[in-house]
Structure 1
Amino acid sequence: MRALAFTALLLATACGAPAPHLGPDAPRPNAAAPDLRPEREAPGDEVREGEALTIERVFASPSLSGPAPRGLRFSPDGSRISFLRPRQDDRTVLDLWAMDAADGRTYRLVDARALAPQERALSEAEIQFRERARISETGVVSYDWDSEGRAILVPLDGDLFHVDVETGEARRLTDTPEFETDARISPDGRHVSFIREQNLWVHDLETGQERALTTEGEGAVSWGVAEFVAQEEMRRMTGYWWSPDGARIAVVRLDETPVDIIPRFGVTADGVTVTDQRYPRAGRPNALVTLWVIDVATGARRPVYLGEETDIYLARVHWSRDSARIWIQRQNRAQTGLDILSADAASGRSRTILRERADTWINLSDDFITLEDGGFLWTSERSGFRHIYHVSADGQARALTGGDWMVTSLAGLSEDGETVYFEGWRETPLERHLYAVSFEGGEPQAITQGQGRWSTVMGRGGEAFIGTWSDPDTPPQVGLYAIDGSRIAWIEENALDEGHPYHPHIGAHVSPEFGTLTAADGQTELHWSMLRPDHCTAQNPCPVIVQVYGGPLVQTVHRGWTNPRDQLFAAHGYILFKLDNRGSSNRGHAFEAALHRRMGIVEAADQIAGLDYLQGLDFVDSDRIGLWGWSYGGYMALMTTLQAPGRFAAAVSGAPVTDWALYDTHYTERYMGTPQDNAEDYEAGSVFAHLDGYRTPTLIIHGMADDNVTFDNSTRLFAALQERGERFDMMTYPGERHGIRPPPLQVHLWRTIFGYFEREMPASADDAP
């Protein structure tokens, strides 16, 4: 019996009998938490009381969502569960915690402030990496277990610490003025690898000696680093991969010489810096990426053959279990083709074993589980919905699942290889559950039940899993579960009792309503959600703020925890409405591909259909409907109001793309092709083509050091509106990038947003201008 199963048994004994299987009629997993979903009160009924939320409290510490763990993992020996947790006194600082699987005891493994009381300023490379990874916290933001579960590697303060999990002793491995990034422990436990100054290094844990495996990294050339579009758009955050035996490393050599240099002005309160950023705009050259295999002992290296075409994307790299082969996912520049290459690790010779093709584009995923038979499990949207396939060593693909529903991710494989676990939905895209299906295929069986959304981390061998669950009225709750879905122990119950940060606001909590409406094509069903304050009735119609994202790869309407920030709209007297238009995620590829080569048109038409729906509701003041969004949502706030002149009372556009020719290659060309081959649709998808429809008072917000949606997207719009004599408002944030991160600035941002809406479309009709 594996260690994981044994410790699960110990936990069941130590913590009492396991919870019953969560069948359809079973109580919700948070049965101890208060029910926040009362029936809507009729006029004249007693109004629920609770402390109203303020902007200052939403962005203060501790987090109103409670101490929700993140970065959850099983230790390799199954004896512990590790996770990151924000500090009570400062939600922006993370510490590393663990739960002992033998007795359920939870304790802090690494206190970030004890190891680094005054963290030094981040390097530019680390700032960019965290921006790409959407990491806004400091302290312990990542960690890596050794293969035996005895030690953890923690990057902190720009250096690396090796922590003994039994004693808690932390040994500092590096102490340099340079930052060590992307660090991990080799599978054989002998080395720590990391990137320093654009080169790949290894540190021998026994001798303490370190060696540079590459030395040519400088200027536009880097080793082991993922390029901008790989991090931002492909979700590939690394440029090197250890073989399972620890003898070799597959390493990317990155040459950004062909990429245009876009001067980025970092305007701060103290002055201006100019960064020459390598930014590949749509239709312009990409970086040159090659793959090499380095022998760790000798330093010898050999190139891996990726094909004659060099204008490609290296999407994913995987090692076979026996360390003899490498599987490479290679994507063509147009992203209409994805090939899986099988390469010999010793010679670098490769052959294509699987080809995926699409008329629109192919979405990438991280789903790839190697098998003893020399093949692998992976997922594909070739049927129109993402499903699981067994691919043999010679490239023959056999479907394990199928139907008009979505597998969202592979979760794991049972130790006997007979059961495959995955996350996804079958009944409604608003929920997400864990399922099991036979390796031979067949009808999937749900492991988690009830309403809400689950995310899981499967233990090795599939004997237990870490499950995080929430619903609109219950913040994330994390438990250790047996594979039949019964709860063994809480890792973080996060119950909404008197000690919970959100408890004082329960009485003022507004539960969302869900529904559907018909898209602008007259046939497609779209999902919406609405936060409606109790006072909004036919006798007292209220203003609405529509929150939009609208772009691919994102779903905003679901039955997960309602972000306390969303509750601010109700606290300010507004109804909050969200609609997932065609083009958004988790409804199948055809639903998403509706925006192919016409971004900003289909999505805006659906949002206007949502506006029509709202204006037909008797509890909505049809003259006071606003629109706001950030990033793609900022683009949508502009494109929708411009194509519905004067129909919205006000709009807020944050960090918007205004012309797709200004955005990056991998994202933009996936949906639009290049400006050279699709000039007409680039023009139609540009904000500037629709400025004749500018009627809605608009606030435009942008970070002045944004390295994703560069600041010139907004400055060009400022200039165009000024030339036309149009009135608009703007707010810029010196030194801030694509996200406005520091809590004081978040408070300022949201005061600005609500202040603008309250000026243009007050929550009280009596205050309307």
Structure 2
Amino acid sequence: GIVTYSTDADCTRAVVTINGIAFLVDVKSAVVTELALPSPVIDPRIDRSGRRICFVHDNAVWVHDLTGLASTSAVRITPTETSPHTTWGIADFIAGEEMDRTRGTWWTHNGSALLVQRTDVSEVAELVIENPVDPDSPMMTRYPAAGTTNAAVTLHRMGLDGSQAEINWDHRTYEYLVDVITDSHGELLVVQSRDQRRYEILTVGPDGSTNVLSETTDPEWVELISGSPARTESGQLVSVHDDHDNDHRRLFINDEPVSPIGWDVRAITGVDSQTVFFSACPSRDSWVCDLWSWNAADGLVQLTVGGWNSGTSRGGTSVISRNSLDATASDVVVTSAHGIHTVESFAEAPSVTPVVYRVDSDEPHLRIAVLFPQGQLPSQALPVLLDPYGGPHGQRVVNAGSAFLTAQWWADQGFVVVVTDGRGMPGSPSWEKSVKDDLASGVLDDQVSALELVTAKFPGKLDRSRVGIRGWSFGGYLAALAVLDRPDVFHAAVAGAPVTEWRLYDTHYTERYLGDPRTQPDAYDANSLLPRAPQLTRPLLLIHGVDDDNVFVSNTAQLSAALTAAGKEHQVEYLTGVTHMTPQEEVAENLLLLQLDFLKKSLA
């Protein structure tokens, strides 16, 4: 299916790919034309005029003239590389996994040139993922684990007239290319230091030179915010960063904060001429996320109230998506000069209806949701299942029914399900950064505190002698940590795709919280599950996709080996042909049933 698209400035033409084949869509007439391009076509981008597209094929960038005036076939614009470890136009692993940047090409505003990322992974450690089903076909990948060498990333201006210039900045200090922004005022480059405490926005000259437009520093780390930076039509710099005096993450226009005190900005969602659109959560109720706008004439305008909402506007047409706990589908409304239109959803109706009970605490950022079987308070105490993610960025407790579909399914199997967002998860800057150097103790303490609060809120409804916990990725780490460190509270755990040793996870994520393992080994030792293996006294099920190229299966294998060496009984389920997540429908369903069987037996 179609997962993304690119349009010209007027949204009259769009380009999409299906199975590596590019199609041009005339939006007004709905005529679709297959483009005769070398396949597979990766990440096609149409320029503002709608005359040309660029795309990646065979690790190189190509340009195709849609008018047929310049050429009837695509033209390669990047140099031929002899090394198989060098690519053009493709985002590096860290950009895609940790910076939310999936592109490596950017048209200049007038369409006369492209800014293109070149990536060299020859110095990045090579890892091999063995396939037990097909041992003759191992997968080789380059992975920058904490404390090791990152990919060498450079940026180049490739003119359609054949000119080329490398964009220059201080690579030694600013190792990470965060983003590139092109608009009528030129090009902006966003870079970040390896320790993530320094962040610069640079202007780019025609010859590839750069100048500092803005610099941000932070003693812990500079948080990257979706949509930031941007510029208004008049050239004002729009950005989001931390207001340490008020402990809020705020929207800034040039150097002036404009978002309201008491709200933490989550994203810049769009800039329409002089108006900036952004989403923000009230600090005292971060279940809620509302859409706001700002411009100099009208000031701040709150566009939604309550729920979990977002939206944007361009050319006077706005799109607003609203969610609430009472609905499992988004309500998407388009407003323009032609009227108001509700976008119809053809998604299949879910088989469960979440009924979410809210539990408040003295700490407003500790968000706790509780679900019971069929949404009804039980007549007797039931076993408890904590179902957290628990890690940075992964907010689970939001004002949207769709966020609790799986949790309600678990509740309907006979559990009281508790979903908690603790410290380190989105909230105020100090709340998020309280996990610096410690991803274990405080995060686990918050799960225990939430359990105590829920027990007090619903007396006689929770069987505290039967408490399980399940999680995936960071949640898998947290689940295993729970039975290792607090067997007095947790009686069984399912740990899916867990990071068990943080030295095995990537540079950008891990070093942000724990520093460089070459200089801070104690932080890594303190947060590792491997030394805790002899502590296991409760049932533990480890699950991991063998083809996981994000949290490598070696994490689970090393913990299993440590448990075996300590004489600790445990279960391991390796999933062949499965990566970090399980999009395969049959696998996902059977995986739930496997976990259910394990938890019911373990908590019997």
CA-to-partner distance for each residue in 1:560-586, whole Å, 9 max, x for gaps? 12443222112211111011111111x
Instruction: Determine the C-alpha separation between the residues in 2 that align with 1:440 and 1:312.
Output: 39
Paired amino acid for 2:325: P
- The answer to whether the 8 A contact 1:256-1:288 is kept is yes
Q: Which residue of 1 aligns with 2:400?
A: 560
5+ residue gaps, structure 1? 1-138, 392-396, 762-767
Q: Displacement, 1:694?
A: 1.1
Instruction: Determine the C-alpha separation between the residues in 2 that align with 1:524 and 1:683.
Output: 31
Instruction: Determine the C-alpha separation between the residues in 2 that align with 1:175 and 1:243.
Output: 23
Structure whose CA Rg is larger? 1
Q: Which residue of 1 aligns with 2:105?
A: 240
SS in 1 for 2:512: helix
CA-to-partner distance for each residue in 1:504-562, whole Å, 9 max, x for gaps? x5xx73410111235xxxx6752200002369758511111101111111211121124
Q: Which residue of 2 aligns with 1:389?
A: 252
Q: Which residue of 1 aligns with 2:31?
A: 169
Q: Report whether the alignment pairs 1:422 with 2:274.
A: no
Q: Which residue of 2 aligns with 1:753?
A: 595
* Pairs within 5 Å for 1:271-420: 271-296=135-160, 298-307=161-170, 309=172, 312-322=175-185, 325-344=186-205, 346-365=206-225, 366-383=227-244, 384-391=247-254, 397-415=255-273, 417=274, 419-420=275-276
Q: Report whether the alignment pairs 1:591 with 2:451.
A: no
Q: Which residue of 2 aligns with 1:729?
A: 571
- The answer to whether the 8 A contact 1:653-1:698 is kept is yes
- The answer to whether the 8 A contact 1:400-1:439 is kept is no
SS in 2 for 1:373: coil
Instruction: Determine the C-alpha separation between the residues in 2 that align with 1:458 and 1:661.
Output: 43
**1:663–1:304 CA distance, 2 compared to 1 (3 A):** same
Q: 212-221 or 246-255: which moved more?
A: 212-221
* Pairs within 5 Å for 1:190-201: 190-201=51-62
CA-to-partner distance for each residue in 1:578-632, whole Å, 9 max, x for gaps? 11111111x1110011110111121012112223334553210111111000000
- The answer to whether the 8 A contact 1:464-1:480 is kept is no
- The answer to whether the 8 A contact 1:407-1:425 is kept is yes
**1:306–1:594 CA distance, 2 compared to 1 (3 A):** same
Paired amino acid for 2:213: I
* Pairs within 5 Å for 1:4-403: 139-174=1-36, 176=38, 178-207=39-68, 208-217=72-81, 218-268=83-133, 270-296=134-160, 298-307=161-170, 309=172, 312-322=175-185, 325-344=186-205, 346-365=206-225, 366-383=227-244, 384-391=247-254, 397-403=255-261
Instruction: Determine the C-alpha separation between the residues in 1 that align with 2:88 and 2:149.
Output: 20
Instruction: Determine the C-alpha separation between the residues in 1 that align with 2:204 and 2:294.
Output: 30
Q: Output the TM-score relative to the length of structure 2.
A: 0.93
Q: Report whether the alignment pairs 1:434 with 2:282.
A: no
Instruction: Determine the C-alpha separation between the residues in 2 that align with 1:414 and 1:310.
Output: 34
Instruction: Determine the C-alpha separation between the residues in 2 that align with 1:414 and 1:466.
Output: 12
Q: Displacement, 1:487?
A: 8.7
Instruction: Determine the C-alpha separation between the residues in 1 that align with 2:111 and 2:375.
Output: 63
CA-to-partner distance for each residue in 1:376-404, whole Å, 9 max, x for gaps? 2121124332211122xxxxx12222423
Instruction: Determine the C-alpha separation between the residues in 1 that align with 2:382 and 2:597.
Output: 17
Instruction: Determine the C-alpha separation between the residues in 2 that align with 1:557 and 1:487.
Output: 34
Instruction: Determine the C-alpha separation between the residues in 1 that align with 2:481 and 2:298.
Output: 45
SS in 2 for 1:388: strand
Q: Which residue of 2 aligns with 1:3?
A: none
- The answer to whether the 8 A contact 1:400-1:440 is kept is no
Paired amino acid for 1:578: V
SS in 2 for 1:171: strand
Q: Which residue of 1 aligns with 2:464?
A: 622
- The answer to whether the 8 A contact 1:288-1:310 is kept is no
Q: Which residue of 2 aligns with 1:61?
A: none
Paired amino acid for 1:432: C
**1:724–1:421 CA distance, 2 compared to 1 (3 A):** same
Paired amino acid for 1:354: S
Q: Report whether the alignment pairs 1:466 with 2:319.
A: yes
Larger RCO: 1 or 2 (CA < 8 Å, sep 6+)? 1
CA-to-partner distance for each residue in 1:663-685, whole Å, 9 max, x for gaps? 00011001110111111110010
Q: What is the number of residues matched between the two proteins?
A: 593
- The answer to whether the 8 A contact 2:335-2:341 is kept is no
CA-to-partner distance for each residue in 1:237-272, whole Å, 9 max, x for gaps? 11111111100111111111111111122344x555
Q: Displacement, 1:334?
A: 0.2
Instruction: Determine the C-alpha separation between the residues in 1 that align with 2:377 and 2:50.
Output: 64
Instruction: Determine the C-alpha separation between the residues in 2 that align with 1:180 and 1:534.
Output: 47
5+ residue gaps, structure 2? none
CA-to-partner distance for each residue in 1:41-85, whole Å, 9 max, x for gaps? xxxxxxxxxxxxxxxxxxxxxxxxxxxxxxxxxxxxxxxxxxxxx
RMSD: 2.4
* Pairs within 5 Å for 1:756-767: 756-761=598-603
**1:413–1:162 CA distance, 2 compared to 1 (3 A):** closer
**1:431–1:253 CA distance, 2 compared to 1 (3 A):** same
Q: Which residue of 1 aligns with 2:340?
A: 488
Paired amino acid for 2:464: S
CA-to-partner distance for each residue in 1:85-138, whole Å, 9 max, x for gaps? xxxxxxxxxxxxxxxxxxxxxxxxxxxxxxxxxxxxxxxxxxxxxxxxxxxxxx
Instruction: Determine the C-alpha separation between the residues in 2 that align with 1:201 and 1:477.
Output: 38
